[in-house]
Amino acid sequence: MTYSYASGDLLEQRNTYFYSAYQGPGLIDAWRRQRHEVETDLAIGAGAAHGSEEPLPIGPTDWLLQSMYRTLSTQGGLSEQTQLERLVQRFEVSKRLHGEYDATWRPVDPADYRSSERYVRFAEILQLAYGFSGRITYLNTLLKVVDTLTAMRATLTVHQRARLRDVVGQERRYIDALHAAVEAKKHAP
């Protein structure tokens, strides 16, 4: 069995995940293999990450993501929780993050969704948000964002690859902990 959700141009041919057949425990094993391969691939050149950042996108969504990341990473909480919920909802519906949304959370420029930096930062935010809250919604969305990022990893900068590698490692630890908790409940008296 292979993990088929993390290949191709997922910003153009988006996964729906909705009508996927149940694949049982083999899916988790295939996911682990895929993520291990990604971590190994991302490790190549990761040591040269410092000083290789590309300019950050400067749209309103990018500013919001930067603010969320700063708040989560320094304060351990999130004052922009409502906006995070909206971004999660927008990503879950479209599998894209746009540079700007209007007052009804519709994209201002429907063609502005290809910024890899935006997806890397969103993954980092979801990783932190799940770590602080334990809300499965954040982990679920994180898995999908990481699917998108791992499929496009060849286009990432060295710095983004290093950051994605950190996210993938934490994602795996979260899934392992969740799996262990489920197994423990199954075997509890």
Q: Are 35 and 51 in contact (CB under 8 A)?
A: no
pLDDT tens figures, 111-141: 999 999 999 999 999 999 999 999 999 999 9
Q: Which residues pair with 107 in a beta bridge?
A: 101
- Give residue 48's pLDDT: 47
- Give residue 61's pLDDT: 96
- Give residue 49's pLDDT: 46
Q: Is 101 helix (H, G, I), strand (E, B) or coil?
A: strand
Cβ contacts of residue 96 below 8 Å, gap of 6+?
A: 11, 14, 90, 107, 113
Tokens of 7: 């290949």
Cβ contacts of residue 157 below 8 Å, gap of 6+?
A: 52, 53, 54, 116
95 Rama sector, left if φ>0, alpha if ψ -120 to 50, beta otherwise: left
- Give residue 54's pLDDT: 55
For the chain, list residues with pLDDT below 50. Answer: 48-52
